[in-house]
Amino acid sequence: MSEKLTQGQIQEILDSSPFISFCGMTCEEIWPEEDKVLVRMPMRPEMERAPGTGQWHGGPIASLIDVAGDFALAMVLGGGVPTINFRTDYLRPATGDSLAATAWVRRAGRTVGVVDIDVHDEEGRLVAVGRGCYSSKIG
Amino acid sequence: MSEKLTQGQIQEILDSSPFISFCGMTCEEIWPEEDKVLVRMPMRPEMERAPGTGQWHGGPIASLIDVAGDFALAMVLGGGVPTINFRTDYLRPATGDSLAATAWVRRAGRTVGVVDIDVHDEEGRLVAVGRGCYSSKIG
Amino acid sequence: MSEKLTQGQIQEILDSSPFISFCGMTCEEIWPEEDKVLVRMPMRPEMERAPGTGQWHGGPIASLIDVAGDFALAMVLGGGVPTINFRTDYLRPATGDSLAATAWVRRAGRTVGVVDIDVHDEEGRLVAVGRGCYSSKIG
Amino acid sequence: MSEKLTQGQIQEILDSSPFISFCGMTCEEIWPEEDKVLVRMPMRPEMERAPGTGQWHGGPIASLIDVAGDFALAMVLGGGVPTINFRTDYLRPATGDSLAATAWVRRAGRTVGVVDIDVHDEEGRLVAVGRGCYSSKIG
């Protein structure tokens, strides 16, 4: 059994990815006993849905869901894992300077892991939910 | 019954979105009789998964799936529609200078529409598939 | 705004469906303030995956997820609603004399509602999770 | 590389499951070169949504999707495989004496396989679509 990743190790892997780094995602908090992580993403002009609305496009939200779910399982398994599939449900239009994705592992099996992801805006409104299935093989 | 969008009208809506515009997505071809569109996205350094690999991160692929599916239904209904939910399955690591998403409407109902999306790389390999559910209400 | 369904009203609708009635599903408990219901389904010989294993086939588990999710939203909206789509993730082989599905509404919007469903066996193990999108139009 | 299952072998495995056998599912046709199978399920009174409507409940439709998808991959791999997760989208109310699920493998990878499933009624109407992810490990 490998050791769980620390918050610093997670951030290091996040930063090493050009895409995640461009998105500015940070691992803001981890709860190792609950297999849970919090990943935050700041708004960028490039992520706006329609000009001047301040509304997030769904694409970056789906990306945040994918990454947060991935790193909840990565923390538990001790290294990054490939996404197999995931579902995104948009619940409300999302606005504001940043979004916070809380991801927690529902099951870390031998072949795959299943993770739930809730995305809140800065007012605490639930704007989207995700559910992802990731490979349990690190690499 | 509203008229179907033309390729030019679709491109105009794509271009009006800061996010889609940043991604450089273009509506390369449409098949109005088959309720089908082809949206292409060029590789950008910001979309790489790990540095120097040339591999696409899954986030932009999910974004492409969402947008292509959306505009297949938008073409049929005559205007842009909100995404309700979608599923992304990654089938192979994706590399290359661009990805092509073919999206076709499976059902355009009164309340929601369901669209399938296949994503191919430039070698013609199927790298991901998506299935999305969109609201039938334009706006 | 219509009134929430009572446990008895939910059971009445469940019993009126030949399929749900055949499955023997009962609304065992409701938490109206949390938009949450608990639906239980007893094992039947017809629901076994392989003979003599006592293991549930995935089909009835998916059916339980669909129905429990449906009635969490039905309780909130005051009447039964059509399923638009749902996802089922199987986490462990499921055995035992009954399964319990806890379903809670994540969002009851004007067009659709989104519901999460956890399925536990009698030992309290989480054997499957579901996420469903339902129409908000009663009928 | 193991050999593909024949139609007779598929039917034998279907018949060995109490649940699938109760549902009366038959493997009506296979296209081994296209990794595609057709599974049919006859209406039973126990599968009706509401009494006297002749409409299928969604639960049996989801079960048919799960099983048909499973056996498309099982044919390719040479043996039955566990379902990891699947999505069901209902497109139209389904009626009639039987439903036909066509399932074809989109990708048979080393860890998982992805299968698409279309469900038609006897009039040829597309009533539901499914997409499933199955383990590639037989057993």
Model confidence over D83-105: pLDDT tens digits?
999 999 999 999 999 999 999 99
Residues of chain D found within 8 Å of residue B129, distances taken between Cβ atoms: 106, 114, 116, 131
CA B19, distance to chain mean position in Å, is 13
C84 → closest Cβ in B87, B112, B137? B112
Q: Tokens representing C137?
A: 């139009």
Chain A residues whose beta carbon lies within 8 Å of the beta carbon of residue C109: 91
Contact A85 B83 (CB under 8 A): no
Cβ-count burial D42-72 (b if 16+ within 10 Å, e if not)? ebeeebbbeeeeebbbbbbbbbbbbbbbbbb
Judged against a pLDDT cut of 80, whether residue C2 lies above it is answered with no
The number of beta carbons lying within 10 Å of the beta carbon of residue A41 is 23
**pTM for the full model?**
0.97
Q: Given this model, what pLDDT does residue A135 score?
A: 97
Strands C126-135 and D83-90: unpaired
What is the per-residue pLDDT for D2?
A: 73
Q: Which of C48, C63, C90 sits opposite D84 (nearest CB)?
A: C90
Give the closest of A133, A135, A137 to D85, CB-based.
A133
- Nearest C-alpha in C relative to A88: C131
User: Does the CB of A129 have a partner CB in chain C at under 8 Å?
Assistant: yes
Model pLDDT, residue D59: 98
Please give the full DSSP string across D90-132, using - where no structure is assigned: E-S--BSSEEEEEEEEEEE-SSEEEEEEEEE-TT--EEEEEEE
List, edge to edge, every strand of the sheet that includes B98-108.
A26-31, A36-42, A98-108, A112-120, A126-135, A83-90, B83-90, B126-135, B112-120, B98-108, B36-42, B26-31
Q: Hey, of D89, D92, D126, which one would you mutate to test binding to chain B, going by the most B CBs within 10 A of its CB?
A: D89
Q: What is the pLDDT along chain A (139 residues), one digit of tens a residue?
A: 579 999 999 999 999 999 999 999 999 999 999 999 999 999 999 999 999 999 999 999 999 999 999 999 999 999 989 999 999 999 999 999 999 999 999 999 999 999 999 999 999 999 999 999 999 998 7
What pLDDT sits at residue C80?
Answer: 87
Query: How would residue C139 be classed by pLDDT, with cut points 50, 70 and 90?
Result: confident
Separation between Cα atoms, residue D130 and residue C75, nearest integer Å: 27
Neighbours of chain C (3+ CB pairs under 8 A): A, B, D
Rg of chain B in Å (alpha carbons): 14
Contact status of D125 with chain B (Cβ, < 8 Å) = no
Q: Is A109 on the interface with C (CB under 8 A)?
A: yes
What is the set of domains in chain A, with CATH numbers?
7-135 (3.10.129.10)
What CA–CA distance (Å, rounded) separates D8 from B14? 51
- For residue D64, the chain C residues in CB contact (below 8 A) are 59
Q: Which helix (H) or strand (E) holds D31?
A: strand D26-31
* A98 touches A54 (CB < 8 A): no
* Residue of C87, C112, C137 lying closest to B84 (CB–CB): C112
User: pLDDT > 90: what percent of chain B?
Assistant: 95
Half-sphere exposure of D107 (CA within 13 A, CB side): 23
Token pair of D33 as six digits = 């070169």
Query: Is the pLDDT assigned to residue B62 strictly greater than 60?
Result: yes
Q: What pLDDT, in 10s, does the model give residues C45-96?
A: 999 999 999 999 999 999 999 999 999 999 999 998 999 999 999 999 999 9
> So what's the ipTM on this one?
0.97
Dihedral in degrees, nearest 10, Cα atoms C108, A123, A117, B138: 50
Using a CB-CB cut-off of 8 Å, the residues of chain B touching D92 are 107
pLDDT at residue number D1: 56
How high is the pLDDT of residue C115?
98
**Which one, of B73, B88, B98, B103, lies nearest residue B13 by Cα?**
B73
Q: What does the pLDDT average to over D60-67?
A: 98
Q: Which two tokens mark C97?
A: 């004399």
pLDDT tens sequence across D46-57: 999 999 999 999
